[in-house]
Structure 1
């Protein structure tokens, strides 16, 4: 439409010029010259409006969490003495709900600042930028744009919530013995007392022995057999469901929505990891999404951020089913391990994998995301029945239900059912 306007004016000028030669009327000559002049001036106006401009972007944080507000400051600078009467700034960021565009008038050697506040609604790694500048003349004959390269990245962690009512079963070792393995972490199991060495933390000092012996004595610890927790997240592509209809964009990429079993599963995994670490227990993550993601259990504070970073970019593009993942990773699970399985899968083969782990003494908690409540699949009643036979604490999380309420069902069921199953199949 914009390209037709100057062409129409030039065509009209030519007709007037031809009419002027045919009739000899000076007014037609003047009108034709005027129209050509308007087109030339409008073109130069719009083109020059984009010269001598620069854009600066300042992101105040490169990491955030779903629900946080991200602040960004964008500055448009005019380096020329000529004023810029109309400049539109179009932001090409892919952060959801991020609207950083604006329209500005800039006098000569002036600048315009815009502070953008965006509430993070979706986890993932997103791009802030680049920017496209758009200018037009007063008559709207020409519309030019200029791409300004440069962008920043922001990583949005999944949201976590406190889980005061969620209790995990403790793992056991044969005979109830501790793991005779020293650790640099503070655990409930004190192994020995030794002399203080430079670099030892003051929280390791044993004050009674220090007072009795007259010199600083510190405690050494052993690993706590109840502390190791694995969160197994089912990222099989073909078991996921979404509530709202989604549109295919390119290849297998879909427009994302927070109301999906994938996002619910990631939210649950992040919250459980935080909950376990707050209890001073080691937690790890297993998820086969677009790639194999395995984080060994640790109890350090940085472990939460390692898990959150992995979950932020994790997508349900996995080709392996949950049963295959449990089979491939089963060497990691022993009697000193508690396994939390999070899945919307209705394939009962993964329950068979859980059964084998139960006979080896692995404590298991199952969190079933109800795919039926997301508008797809069927009831998971048969899965729940088989897990009940294995005495696996199970909760069902339905769409729209708070995670805290859903996981409280596990505590209500009673974790005393987490003992070994009655009989082993022949």
Structure 2
């Protein structure tokens, strides 16, 4: 292409100089030929880019970290001539995007499509676009650019590990007495009937009563007797620690060669905390337990406990956006929310902090008849100088289950290993570590 461009420009300059100096007919013909090539090339590329259309299609706009996201790119050439060359530049902010391509020889009134596989390594929301098309004329003299704006957004949910077991309170009362508090969803415990209100689900309508009263009536339900699970995620910026992910470039090279690498969570205590919160929410909701989430990142977050699969989607989408930039400590977060939790609920505290105030928060939960479990991220393994040995010993002394997670550990086995690290004995209301 560069040689063609230089040749045409030399032909134009040489013929122009010859016409000005000698006015010979040969120079005039060469000058007209050069002008025809330049003008025709400009017109070619101008009309070609106008007839190119781009369509981006994907099956879903939700995916999890560690997945391979598939997106179909379709280029349509609506021109009555061949498009010799077109470059597709995917200018999305999605890391490791693989949508850019170089296509050659798209026939007239024809389509060319390809499937882009992007390895998702970062949670959050990312726009699928904009996308830029760049085409040239056959001589390579001119470039024309056409940009298609982004029309959709991909939400990448946190990584979910496979958890086999995690300790929780078995219920509020051994006899299984229902909680006389109205539930947002449908439970096995019907409480009564009331008049339909906008927003009520159609499946809650009680048709026999509606037919008798000649207006829509819906069923109300009491909460399930099982205890609620509350996940407290420490998002305070001051206690977080992280390392440089030096292995990412190597794994990315293997992915480009067609070998899908095993996903590793970025070596950040907060990213580990988010993955743990997402994994536990998925585990408990699959066990039909009511789960709530509390965190204080960019904003204060408090998602009421519920046990529907919509609740899982809500929690995961919230965790996709949260950042470890908060100013509120985990003990302050517990103090602000503990008074609003039902007695007998289980509280999972996810934190890398070993401050004495965390023990005060655990004591406060115990006094309120709440059952805490601490998932302690080893800050030292993430590059922090803090040691958590004394903190773990303090939790053991008051029989509070603690799960110790280090950087690089497998979250599934690490969270499920709580039962292995602590021999549990069943009491009347809670599983506690048995004292030696």
1:343–1:8: structure 2 CA closer, same or farther, 3 Å change rule? Answer: farther
Where does 1:49-198 land on structure 2 (aligned, <5 Å)? 49-102=48-101, 103-170=103-170, 178=177, 180-181=179-180, 185-186=186-187
Where does 1:24-423 land on structure 2 (aligned, <5 Å)? 38-102=37-101, 103-170=103-170, 178=177, 180-181=179-180, 185-186=186-187, 223-244=223-244, 258-411=266-419, 412-415=421-424
Aligned mates of 1:74, 1:380 — CA distance in 2: 50
After superposition, the CA RMSD in angstroms is 3.9
1:365–1:55: structure 2 CA closer, same or farther, 3 Å change rule? Answer: same
Aligned mates of 2:383, 2:141 — CA distance in 1: 50
1:91-145, CA deviations, whole angstroms, 9 ceiling, x for partnerless residues? 1223333312222422222221223333433322221122101012344333221
8 Å CA contact 1:234–1:343 kept in 2: the answer is yes
**TM-score normalised by structure 1 residue count:** 0.77
Aligned mates of 1:8, 1:319 — CA distance in 2: 65
Aligned mates of 2:30, 2:240 — CA distance in 1: 67
1:64-93, CA deviations, whole angstroms, 9 ceiling, x for partnerless residues? 223444332222112221221111111122
1:349–1:8: structure 2 CA closer, same or farther, 3 Å change rule? Answer: farther
8 Å CA contact 1:392–1:418 kept in 2: the answer is no
8 Å CA contact 2:373–2:402 kept in 1: the answer is yes
Aligned mates of 2:19, 2:52 — CA distance in 1: 43
Aligned mates of 2:319, 2:191 — CA distance in 1: 38
1:224-261, CA deviations, whole angstroms, 9 ceiling, x for partnerless residues? 55421100011122322233269xxxxxxxxx973322
1:35–1:180: structure 2 CA closer, same or farther, 3 Å change rule? Answer: closer
Partner of 1:204: none
8 Å CA contact 2:278–2:319 kept in 1: the answer is yes
8 Å CA contact 1:285–1:294 kept in 2: the answer is yes
1:336-357, CA deviations, whole angstroms, 9 ceiling, x for partnerless residues? 2111001122433232222222
1:79–1:180: structure 2 CA closer, same or farther, 3 Å change rule? Answer: closer
Q: Secondary structure at the match of 2:49?
A: coil
**How many pairs align?**
389
26-35 or 328-337: bigger deviation: 26-35
Aligned mates of 1:257, 1:33 — CA distance in 2: 64
8 Å CA contact 1:49–1:87 kept in 2: the answer is no
Q: Secondary structure at the match of 2:169?
A: coil
**TM-score normalised by structure 2 residue count:** 0.76
Partner of 1:206: none
269-278 or 142-151: bigger deviation: 142-151
Aligned mates of 2:23, 2:179 — CA distance in 1: 110
Aligned mates of 2:179, 2:289 — CA distance in 1: 17
Q: Secondary structure at the match of 2:50?
A: coil
